Structure formats: C-alpha cells, structure tokens
C-alpha cells in the first residue's frame, strides 16, 4: 500500500528528530570530540527544513529541544547552547530560500541566533533570580573545573594541573569578559561550517541552494583593516574597560580573517589538486595547531596587500 503524503512527512520528521538527538547524545557524552560533533547539529535541521518546508520543518528543532530537556532533566545554559545551534540551521534554511549573498546569509543568521540567545539568557537569569554576569561566571567556573578533571583523567602532570588550578580564578575572570567575542566567533564559525557542508548535500538531493560562486575566491573587505587598527589602538588605552572592548573586537576580527585565510588555503588545495584525504588531514592540522591557525589568520589579513591568489581587483 503506497504511503500517503502526510505519512512521508511524519516519517521525515521522526528521522530528523532521531538524527539530531543522536548527534546531541554523542556531543554530550564525548569530551573533546563531542564539541566537534555539536557543530553538526544545525545540518539536519537545515536539510529537513529545506526538504519539508517551514511548517513541518519547525517540528524537528522543537521536538529535539524537548528530547534534550528530558535528557538534562531541567532547563539550563547547556540547553540554550544546543537550542541556538538548532536555530542556526533553521534560520540558515530560511535565508537560503531568500537567495541572498553569502555575506548577508552569514551575517543575518548570526544576528538572529545571537539576539535570540541574549533574549533567552535574560529570561533564564530572571527565572533563576541571578544577574547575567553572575550566571555566566558560575557556568564558566563549573566548566573550568570539569576541564581540570578531564586533564587529570587524560594523565596531565600534577605540576601542570597545579599551575592551572592556581590560575583558575584569573582564567575565569578573563573568560567571562571576552565571552561576548567568543560567542560571536563561535556562531560565525558554526554558520560558516554548516553552510559549507549544506551546499553539496542540497545540490545532491535536488534542493535549492544559492549560487555563491567559488568561496575559495572570497576575500575580507579591505575597509575592515581600519577596525583592526582601531581595536589595536584601544588596547593601548590604560583603562581596563577599553582594553576588554578592544580585545573582544580583535577576537571577532580574527575569526573573519580566518575565513579569508582558509579561502586562500582552499584555493591552492584546488589549484594543486590535493587528494581529499590529504586536504582533510591538513584542515585538521589547522584546527588543532595554534601556530598554523594563526598563520592562516595572517594570510587573510595580509591578502589585502600581497594578493596571494593574484585576483583582479574590481
């Protein structure tokens, strides 16, 4: 007996919730690897929203959030984090249908996710009768202590653990104050990765995807260098509030220049016809090695003057 149209939609919704929940469970139960798995959460939401439409597609993030709440047993900051990842996938699918430029697609998606996250954080702080800063500080402190326990389990030397433990309050102080830029950078990275992974999947399944052109030719707007100079100048101001503002700005700009640098790397990978396995290995090195990561950011920054890809300036 052939399946009805409603039956196919219901089956797809259940499959979408199941896939999303599986990724969520892996993310929660695996430490370092779990963080990278969490970056995949927006992808099934984006795919099924594009496939099923807005009305049926919204059931997948909504159902997944309910499952997450049951697993955690309460509404927490962690639920907020995972919910925002699901929202990123849904919003990206909406923006893809609008056929915008790649810059506007990423910018609007990040704006919606960040504003929604801030609104939920304010509501959560009101319900818990705590200010936003104490709430975030408590959350950061708990995660730092969990990280210290993880280091012990990984066999890190006691001397290193003692040094980290003695500096824990200072690390917490700094992290809380640069958390806004870390949040913006994380959302930018998640949206960017999701968009890159979604494009071939949407095309393979015959779903609409804007023609952004070759993203390996993308470059950071030249005018953004003035923002870097401005943030760097603010760091020279003796006042700590100004220094924090400048540091937050530089962290966000470093993520943008990372996109420019990785586009250059991708351009030469394609030009030299590197095998897929080798590309995956080199991309993994960029993600894991801080020196190489800074080198890629430098490529994006100095591309304005050196024009590494020899692109014609319009």
Tokens read off for 82? 């995972």
Residue 13 pLDDT exceeds 50: yes
Residue 106: partners with Cβ closer than 8 Å, 6 or more residues away? 188, 191, 192, 195
Higher pLDDT, 79 or 40: 40
Of all residues in the chain, the percent with pLDDT exceeding 90 is 42
- Nearest one of 220, 302, 292 to 255, comparing CA atoms: 220
Report phi then psi at 309, rounded to 5: -90, 0
Averaged confidence pLDDT in the chain = 87
Two tokens, residue 79: 């639920």
Average pLDDT over residues 248-259: 95
Q: And the tokens for 271?
A: 């030009």
Q: What's the predicted TM-score (pTM) here?
A: 0.89
- Encode pLDDT of 20-74 as tens digits: 988 888 887 776 666 778 888 999 999 999 999 888 889 999 998 888 888 777 6
DSSP state of 20: H
Q: Where are the domains of the chain?
A: 1-211, 214-314
Distance CA(121)–CA(115), nearest Å, equals 10
Closest CA to 217 of 99, 314, 89, 107: 314
Residue 3's pLDDT band (boundaries 50, 70, 90)? low
**90 pLDDT higher than 70:** yes
Q: What pLDDT is recorded for position 1? A: 40
Band (258; pLDDT cuts 50, 70, 90): very high
More confident residue, 36 or 3: 36
Interatomic CA distance for residues 163 and 151, integer angstroms: 12
Local confidence band at 105 (pLDDT 50, 70, 90 cut-offs): very high
Whole-angstrom distance, CA of residue 147 vs CA of residue 79: 19
Q: Hunting for tokens 């003692």 — which residue is that?
A: 162
């Amino acid at each position: 007996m052939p399946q009805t149209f409603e039956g196919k939609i219901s089956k797809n919704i259940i499959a979408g919730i199941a896939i999303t929940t599986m990724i969520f469970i892996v993310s929660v139960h695996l430490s370092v690897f779990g963080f990278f798995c969490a970056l995949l959460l927006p992808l099934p939401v984006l795919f099924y929203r594009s496939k099923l439409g807005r009305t049926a597609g919204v059931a997948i993030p909504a159902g997944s959030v309910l499952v997450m709440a049951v697993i955690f047993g309460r509404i927490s900051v962690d639920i907020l984090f995972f919910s925002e990842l699901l929202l990123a996938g849904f919003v990206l699918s909406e923006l893809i249908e609008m056929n915008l430029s790649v810059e506007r697609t990423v910018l609007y998606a990040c704006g919606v996710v960040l504003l929604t996250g801030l609104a939920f954080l304010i509501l959560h702080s009101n319900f818990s009768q705590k200010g936003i800063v104490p709430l975030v500080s408590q959350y950061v402190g708990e995660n730092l202590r969990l990280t210290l326990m993880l280091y012990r389990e990984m066999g890190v030397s006691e001397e290193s653990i003692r040094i980290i433990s003695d500096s824990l309050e200072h690390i917490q102080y700094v992290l809380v104050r640069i958390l806004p830029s870390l949040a913006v950078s994380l959302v930018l990275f998640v949206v960017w990765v999701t968009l890159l992974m979604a494009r071939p999947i949407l095309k393979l399944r015959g779903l609409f995807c804007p023609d952004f052109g070759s993203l390996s030719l993308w470059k950071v707007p030249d005018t953004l260098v003035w923002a870097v100079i401005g943030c760097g100048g603010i760091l020279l101001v003796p006042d700590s509030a100004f220094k924090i503002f400048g540091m937050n700005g530089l962290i966000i700009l470093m993520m943008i220049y990372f996109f420019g640098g990785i586009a250059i790397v991708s351009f030469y990978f394609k030009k030299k016809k590197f095998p897929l396995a080798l590309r995956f290995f080199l991309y993994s090195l960029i993600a894991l090695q801080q020196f190489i990561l800074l080198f890629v950011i430098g490529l994006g920054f100095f591309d304005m003057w050196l024009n590494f890809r020899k692109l014609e300036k319009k």
